[in-house]
Structure 1
Amino acid sequence: MLDLSSEEITQGSLTRALVVLATPLLVQNLVQVVQQVVDLFFLGRLSSAAVAAVGLSLPVLALCFALVITLPFVGTQILVSQRVGGEDVSGARRAAATGLGVAVALGVVGGLVLWVGARPLVDLLTRVQPGGANVTALATVYLSVLAVGLPAAAASDAIEAAFVGWGDSRAPLYVSVATVATNLVLDPVLIFGLGPAPALGVEGAALATVAGYVAGFLLAAGLALAGRDGWVYTRATARFEADDLRELFDVGAPIAGQGAVRQVVRVLIVTVAFAAGGTAGLAAYSIGGRVASVAFVPALGLQQAAQSVVGQNLGAAKPDRAERATYLGVGLAAGGLAVIGAVQWLFPVPVATLFAPAFTDRALSLSVSYLEILAYGYPAIGVAYLFEAGFNGARRTRTSLVATLAQFWVVRLPLAAGAGVVLGAGVVAVFWAVTISNLVVAVGLWFYYRREVGDGMLQRASERAST
């Protein structure tokens, strides 16, 4: 049922190709969301300081992942998909090997930087999000241990990207399940000291996460070496070529920058929300962000699937199918998120209390307002993600970077700070700034995609992919 060949992607039903490829990715993204809360679930039974330490570490980890993991992941996926579509199997395998090598190198360098800079980074964050001496010390330990596992996480994701580019989204799902299962089993053992294991607290949570990264990498490497659906790493293709390396950075670096831009602004918006709404406003903003991260999972899975479908069809010299795949993905993502947004808008109180049952009246009221306001922009997020996929699949990843710069730095942050703080409109203005920026980027990407396609963007991308 979930089998999908390259011929089906380039010749069969586009709807089936998108849905079949996206379904395991959707589940994988949900599994990754679970991984983000596993440590918090167990540490919440240890102490509030432990929870605060992990929460304080998340912006640093998100920024680190954007810079270290996103570049080889996106570059590998797009290059592999285009070469598979063009029936250049050896070139696709070579691109996969190049992506893996870059991921390991970036993982080692990033891990060293994170290990050395853990304390300075935490000290910087505590100026934005107050923590206390104990929280600062625990966050430093958590980041220092996770730094050791960064190379394994980066390598695992690069191998998963090769599978997705090939058209196999089940292998990444298996890897994610192995990663989270390992973390889930080891967390209580290492945090609370079950059996012969010592009680390590926050350090134990970090060690369990690293063990999950290693387990995921070992499974990913085993699947790649054993071969799946004709895909296999070989010694003959495990070599670097300057052109492959240049193309990978050319495609992946803008998306890494895009992720970094998002994380930096999100940290700054935290201070704006606090200045505009105090503790209750910040709590409401945090709950809205957590709910949205779950709501956007289908669009993220569909975006990853669309990038492979667009890339393979461009590699197969079928730009018209690549365009149809993009618009089909836009419709599916917008429709799906419209349904999710409608449910959130109709039932904001149950959603808010599910995530924060102990909220005060004001915090709950603001959370409900934010969830309602966010819901208006959900379809726009689906539109933006899938038009970005259309550009990314054509190697126009810089467009996604520019769109995100405009969305976060030109619209969201100035509007939130200006209206919410300077003009005194309060934290509700911050909430509206988020939704308005989502609507603006969706409309902008739609018009720009239409213009660029009309100007021959996909034809040029197809010619470039086949050379």
Structure 2
Amino acid sequence: MSHTDTASRPSMGLTLWRQTWPMAIGVLSLLGFQLVDSAFIARLGTAPLAAQSFTFPLSFLIIGVQVGMGIAIAALISRALGAGEQDRARRLGSLVLLSGAGVIALLALLLWWIQAPVFLSLGAKPESLVLIRSYWNPQLISAWLGACLYFGYSLFRAHGNTRLPGVLMVTTSFANLALDPLLIFGVGSWPGLGLPGAAIATALAFALGLVILGWQLMGKEWLSSRGLMDEMRLSSRPFAGIAGPAMVSQLMPPLAAMLAISVVASLGEAQVAAWGLANRLETVSLMVVLAMTMSLPPWLGRCYGAGDWAQVHQLLRLALRVVVIWQLALGLVLAAASPWVAQALSGNPEVHGDLAVLVRFMLPSYAALGVCMLVVSAGNALGWPLRAMLMSAARLFVFYLPCLWIGSVLGGLTGLAIGAAVGNLLAGLAAWGLLRRVLSSPRRRMASF
């Protein structure tokens, strides 16, 4: 490593910290309120918590589409900015906000229309459909509002501003937490709405965030209404080239979640409820990784546009080191404290014992899962989205799901948890190998990796 590389490392580390910490706090608050949301619902009983858990795969489906589009937004706009094409960046910003809102609205309508057969295919009982529907209908509105908010976040991140998205995530999280007890349980003479109240609280919080985001955008010159049709013809192919594989990559986790919850449903309703809480805890524990998958790609995209592969190597090396150390330490601490974590999240004795088992075995494996997520995210920003998509597919369908299913057959819920952990470990090792092969090509071998 050269003297210049060594000298630049503290500066790069400081910049990475400044780009990531607002998003990390925002992600923590956003996912934290979802975890607390599920903890509130757990107080309503096992049936409402299981009903919410059955909606997670379809919620992840919507999130997968929005994240895939968000990746393309950040990549194209950051590349345009890196190449000095300010006017094109403005046109792209306008296009993606309009098209993104329309696509998610159509998807939400489709999922509303087909909800009954889908939930039955996931293992929900017919008598549970009324309870599931009462939550799912307002949740679809919440999902659309959240997607529009996310596209706005992507626009800010593409311009190097991670502070406002982080602040808005915190703001909407606190608004949701304030509304949750009121709308779920009620206060005074107000009886509350029960399970649907959780979705309505989230929708109101996201609506508040959109108002603030729109007000902030009014002071920026990041959008343009001129030449949008010409820009759509020019950018539709590169957008599809990034968004297509990225969307497929993001849609595979919801499909895997559907298959996983069908496996868990065969074990019982309490196990489904515990699995739902474990999924919420998983996303919270991955806050640093998720923040980096949002803050790092625009930076990598600018390096890609400028042809600076030496900085790409340094950025990825630093980010991977942070992810492994942080996730492994956090996972081991939570695994050691699994009985108390489970008790805090669910007072239901039918649920917290199973939840403790899931936490104990699965949380430490998220260090390897974080490596895989970071590699996939970097691939979409660095011009190899197809490899990233294939890596995402291999993680889920070659490593994770087969190991999870084999574990459940051999050892019930404990075997399922161990199998999921083994699948994450294998996926992380495979992603690391892919990254080394791609970045060792002659054109990109400008720093040792």
TM-score bracket, normalised by the shorter chain, equals: 0.7 to 0.9
The farther-off stretch of 372-381 and 300-309 is 372-381
CA displacement, residues 97-150 of structure 1 (integer Å, 9 cap, x when unaligned): 22112211112212221332333333333xx144x52x4113213222233344
1:393 alignment partner in structure 2: 381
1:321 alignment partner in structure 2: 311
Q: Name the SS for the 2:84 alignment partner.
A: coil
Q: Structure 1 residues 385, 165: closer, same or farther in 2, change over 3 A? A: same
AA matched with 1:259: Q
CA distance in 1, matches of 2:86, 2:207: 28
CA distance in 1, matches of 2:242, 2:70: 10
1:255 alignment partner in structure 2: 246
Residue correspondence of structure 1 range 347-366 to structure 2 within 5 A: 347-359=337-349, 364=353
Residue correspondence of structure 1 range 67-466 to structure 2 within 5 A: 67=65, 69-125=66-122, 128-130=123-125, 133=127, 135-191=128-184, 199-227=192-220, 232-236=222-226, 240-273=231-264, 275=266, 285-359=275-349, 364=353, 367-421=355-409, 424-456=410-442, 458=444
After TM superposition, give the deviation of residue 410 of structure 1 in Å: 1.5
After TM superposition, give the deviation of residue 302 of structure 1 in Å: 1.8
Could you tell me whether the CA contact under 8 Å between 2:376 and 2:389 is conserved in 1?
no
Could you tell me whether the CA contact under 8 Å between 1:83 and 1:89 is conserved in 2?
yes
The farther-off stretch of 160-169 and 425-434 is 425-434
Could you tell me whether the CA contact under 8 Å between 1:258 and 1:404 is conserved in 2?
yes
Q: Name the SS for the 2:114 alignment partner.
A: helix
Q: Structure 1 residues 458, 391: closer, same or farther in 2, change over 3 A? A: farther
After TM superposition, give the deviation of residue 288 of structure 1 in Å: 4.0
CA distance in 2, matches of 1:372, 1:445: 24
Q: Structure 1 residues 251, 353: closer, same or farther in 2, change over 3 A? A: same
Q: Structure 1 residues 186, 369: closer, same or farther in 2, change over 3 A? A: closer
Count of aligned residue pairs for this structure pair: 438
**Larger relative contact order, structure 1 or 2 (CA cutoff 8 Å, min sep 6):** 2
* Aligned with 2:60 (options 59, 62, 68): 62
Q: Structure 1 residues 179, 409: closer, same or farther in 2, change over 3 A? A: same
CA displacement, residues 261-302 of structure 1 (integer Å, 9 cap, x when unaligned): 112222322333454x65676566555434322211111112
The farther-off stretch of 148-157 and 34-43 is 34-43
CA displacement, residues 215-257 of structure 1 (integer Å, 9 cap, x when unaligned): 2222222212212xxx532334766422323222221222222
Could you tell me whether the CA contact under 8 Å between 1:420 and 1:427 is conserved in 2?
yes
Could you tell me whether the CA contact under 8 Å between 2:334 and 2:363 is conserved in 1?
yes
Q: Structure 1 residues 148, 271: closer, same or farther in 2, change over 3 A? A: closer
Q: Structure 1 residues 86, 48: closer, same or farther in 2, change over 3 A? A: same
After TM superposition, give the deviation of residue 21 of structure 1 in Å: 0.8
CA distance in 2, matches of 1:341, 1:334: 10
Q: TM-score, normalised by structure 1?
A: 0.83
Structure 2: state its 5+ residue gaps: 1-7
After TM superposition, give the deviation of residue 24 of structure 1 in Å: 0.9
Could you tell me whether the CA contact under 8 Å between 1:381 and 1:442 is conserved in 2?
yes
Q: Structure 1 residues 105, 269: closer, same or farther in 2, change over 3 A? A: same
What root-mean-square deviation, in Å, do the aligned CA atoms of Structure 1 and Structure 2 show?
3.1
Q: TM-score, normalised by structure 2?
A: 0.86
Could you tell me whether the CA contact under 8 Å between 1:43 and 1:202 is conserved in 2?
yes
Could you tell me whether the CA contact under 8 Å between 2:158 and 2:298 is conserved in 1?
yes
Could you tell me whether the CA contact under 8 Å between 1:384 and 1:442 is conserved in 2?
yes
CA distance in 2, matches of 1:221, 1:328: 34
CA distance in 2, matches of 1:412, 1:124: 21
CA distance in 1, matches of 2:277, 2:251: 22
Could you tell me whether the CA contact under 8 Å between 2:26 and 2:169 is conserved in 1?
yes
Could you tell me whether the CA contact under 8 Å between 2:35 and 2:280 is conserved in 1?
no
Structure 1: state its 5+ residue gaps: 1-9, 461-467
Q: Name the SS for the 1:235 alignment partner.
A: coil
After TM superposition, give the deviation of residue 26 of structure 1 in Å: 0.7
CA distance in 1, matches of 2:44, 2:355: 27
Q: Structure 1 residues 392, 189: closer, same or farther in 2, change over 3 A? A: same
